[in-house]
A and B are shown apart, each in its own frame.
Chain A
Amino acid sequence: MEVATEERLNKEGRRAGPVLAKPRYITQNQSIGAKNSSQAIISPSLAESRELADRVLAGDRRGVARLISLIEDDSPEACPALALLYPHTGRAHVVGVTGAPGTGKSTLVGQLARESRQRGLTVGIVAVDPSSPFSGGAILGDRIRMQELTGDPGVFIRSMATRGSLGGLSYATGDAIKVLDAFGKDIIYVETVGVGQDEVEIAATAHTTIVVQAPGLGDDIQAIKAGILEIADILVVNKADQEGAERTVAALQLMLELNHQPQGWQPPIIKTVAVEGKGIEALSHEISRHRDYLQVSGRASLLRQHLAEEELWNIIRKTLVARIMDKLDRAELDQLIHDIADRRLDPHTAANKLIAQILE
């Protein structure tokens, strides 16, 4: 598994395509090094950032909710607040839950959260649903399956829309996790959008990745294709009371046998019926076992470095694209697009020309 994990760890570069949303890391003339800000001129927004960070650390739920919105909206207060919170993060165990639409991710997350609460842990949940590519709006419905958790002060649930991000999460998800981590949540469940085969961003965000399958979705060959199944630390066959569940388990078993590595973590397959709470205890046990494995094997520190690198590159990509877009002359860009569409110029040459101009 070591090799397979390393390979998976380096795949992220594939989704390096330009991101046309406005990046949230542009902090025009803003000091992020807030530690020395006693000597710096404190701008109103920096003071606001400090207050927000203090509210999060003091356990103020409204402060947490506010800061996550500011992160999502690319507000200038967000970055300095996150910088102040960063030293207080890294404590929570982050569990990603991904899988096709309708496999029961929300119900499963709700049940896992309940189980964690019974074990005395505090819980954060970030649930991501897709934004409409046309209107930019979204209907976020994951709370429907987590209703009774809303009344529990030990649980904080936040719904997020993808806002144009394609990897199964939104650009702000990683930072929202940090806020919940600094807020003191012991375990944070991150539910991705219903994914197809290739949305593997969650593996660059979570410590433990659960891939949920349900019976009746595709044949055996689906299970040996590359992609989503390869990122699983734990495989779940939900709706295991339905016809075809054994077949799904068998297909996954075959995949695992073909992937088999003599050493390291062997992803278990857990059968659940989330609506009835069946198999949740076993799944929860496997999450703990994976967390222990990361610690004991030394993978935890490697994983931390890997996640840090992924995040750094994501920010660099996003920021660079934003700077380029800031500097672009819109008319010139439109002309280039015309030329490409009319086959007068190829897109690679056009892109290189633009970048060269801006980097000068």
Chain B
Amino acid sequence: MPDGKKIRVLIAKPGLDGHDRGAKVVARALRDAGMEVIYTGLRQTPEMIAEAALQEDVDVVGLSILSGAHMTLFPRIMKLLKDKGMEGILVFAGGIIPDEDVPALKEMGIRAIYGPGTPTGDIVDFLRQNVQ
């Protein structure tokens, strides 16, 4: 069993859509890459996501959203993380996110955005390279 520091990731589904297949596929891929993935289930409020990230002391938060509400929910999540002293945390997102929203999301600190069909290996590599 590998020891020492493990990468801990919170995979969260903000908003009201009920589709978590993508989130589960990513969670499984990260698990297979040796990471500890906390999965919190559907319909999480920004407050619940930020508080779970704090209690679990994760290095990474992955947000999965298909409802189209990312431009309202994501800024709220980023602000709450910052308010709780977790501005150093790596946040990435996946799901259905139109290209035109990407610059604004990156501007607010979301480091990577993965659409449908992204090889999960890309996400694993990105996290390995970018978690301090």
Contact = CB atoms under 8 A, between A and B. Distances in A.
Interface in B1-54: 1-6, 8, 27-28, 30-41, 44-45, 47-48, 51-52, 54
Contacts of A163: 1, 3, 6
A65 interface: yes
A144 B40 contact: yes
A26 to B, nearest CB: 11
Interface in A209-266: none
Interface stretch (A10-18, A85-93, A154-162): A154-162
Nearest to B86: A62
Given A65-B56, A136-B2, A139-B28, A151 B41 contact: no
Contact of B34 (A75, A135, A150): A135
B3 A139 contact: no
Contacts of B125: none
B57 interface: yes
B84 A62 contact: yes
Nearest to A150: B48
B1, B32, B40, B54 pick with most chain A CB within 10 angstroms = B1
A140 B4 contact: no
A295 interface: no
A328 to B, nearest CB: 16
A308 interface: no
A159 B48 contact: no
A72, A75, A143, A157 pick with most chain B CB within 10 angstroms = A143
A73 interface: yes
13 contacts: A21-B1, A131-B36, A135-B32, A137-B30, A139-B31, A140-B36, A140-B37, A144-B40, A150-B47, A156-B55, A157-B55, A158-B55, A159-B38
